[in-house]
Amino acid sequence: MKRIYLSSPHMSGNEQKYIQEAFDLNWIAPLGNNVNGLEKDLAEYNSIEDAAVVNSGTAAIHLALRLLNVREKDTVFCSSLTFVASANPILYQGANPVFIDSELDTWNMSPQALKTALTEAEEEGNLPKAVIIVNLYGQSAKIDELVSICNSYDVPVIEDAAESLGSSYKGKKSGTFGRFGVFSFNGNKIITTSGGGALVSNDEEALKDARFLATQARDQAVHYQHSESGYNYRMSNIVAGIGRGQMEVLDERVSQRRSIFARYYEAFNDVPGMNFQPELEGSISNRWLTALTIDPQITGVSRHQIVEKLNENNIEARPVWKPMHLQPLFEGVKYYSHEEENSVSDYLFEYGLCLPSGSNMSVEDQERVIEHIKMLLPRS
């Protein structure tokens, strides 16, 4: 049996053309036509003023925090239900993270919990320097509400759209609602450059500063001169060529992932105790990963049993992200739940499952996944 991965790279066929162009022009090292082209493609696709491509989504978040002047002992609020890359850059700056719970309508940051956290922070005279809002598994958060709350406290938003490139909210592309937006092109994302990311913004001057910081903060001088610390974060021109080929099929990849979600939904939506991540009204999720919760008291089978069954049959499936407030790395960090004694993130982690969702899955691959899960469900 061939291995079915959770989300494997899916090439368009045109990536090699852009890579060859880099070879023909001898622009192998960082920067070049592909870097410029990919930045232009991203800005145009997302209807935003500018984009700076870097070597990871993590680097993009780190640069956003630098641009917002986050320093040692400052506070940054962040979604708890996310991958650790959303939060690690806070530590890079020596700042203190505070984690905010999710809500069930989107599985993303709870406006109610955020409001509570900001109110308390204002009373303590310690408002955060930034709020990092994550769009989980391709689904936009309740971004209007969240940004409005942040604006009322004059706190800038970083929209972590690492998983939601190609998604939209009220007709506007994901990643374009905050002061900065972040995308990831890791190997498992909806499109990939093998490894890479981007910082996007309508603040073109800020992105000029981001590029400066990402190229070792080298001053304008004939000799090598540096007046502040910088990073080696810029994307390779070769890698950017892969990205240009991938951007050509982004909308197609969104359509393919949504079709995969629809097939899973048709198979299991009527099963009591199995509930898929909702799509908020007015939004379009790229459905990067099909995610659902499984209540073993109702279904008669646990998330763990499904993961084990699929693994035995050479199929990769995973629990949803372990929330940051439950990670050993962040033990003792302040956390605001959706409601008192009701942590939505804990619930989603306990019962949540991500199914194989790669856009290069065949119908037969998906049916194989579905049939193995159905074998575990009690017969009615």
Residue 206's pLDDT is 98
- Burial class of residue 89, CB neighbours in 10 A (0-12, 13-18, 19+): buried
Residue 215's pLDDT is 93
Residue 296's pLDDT is 97
Tens-digit pLDDT profile for residues 70-91: 999 999 999 999 999 999 999 9
Q: Which residues of the chain have pLDDT under 70?
A: 380
Nearest Cα residue to 294 out of 252, 247, 354, 222 = 354
Residue 52's pLDDT is 98
Residue 220's pLDDT is 85
Q: End-to-end CA distance of the chain: give it in Å, rounded.
A: 29
Backbone angles phi, psi at 257, to 5 degrees: -70, -35
- For residues 86 and 79, what is the distance between their CA atoms, to the nearest angstrom? 8
Residue spans per domain, the chain: 15-248, 251-376
Tens-digit pLDDT profile for residues 20-59: 999 999 888 778 999 999 999 999 999 999 999 999 999 9
Q: Note whether 174 and 182 are within 8 A (CB).
A: no
Residue 221's pLDDT is 84
Residue 280's pLDDT is 97
DSSP secondary structure of 49-72 = SEEEEES-HHHHHHHHHHHTT--T
309 is catalytic: no
Q: Give the homologous superfamily in CATH for domain 251-376.
A: Aspartate Aminotransferase, domain 1 (3.90.1150.10)
Residue 379's pLDDT is 73
Residue 149's pLDDT is 98
- Beta bridge partners of residue 353, listed in sequence order: 292, 319
CATH class of 15-248: alpha beta
- For residues 13 and 360, what is the distance between their CA atoms, to the nearest angstrom? 13
Which is the catalytic residue, given 2, 170, 189, 322?
A: 189
Q: Note whether 223 and 160 are within 8 A (CB).
A: no
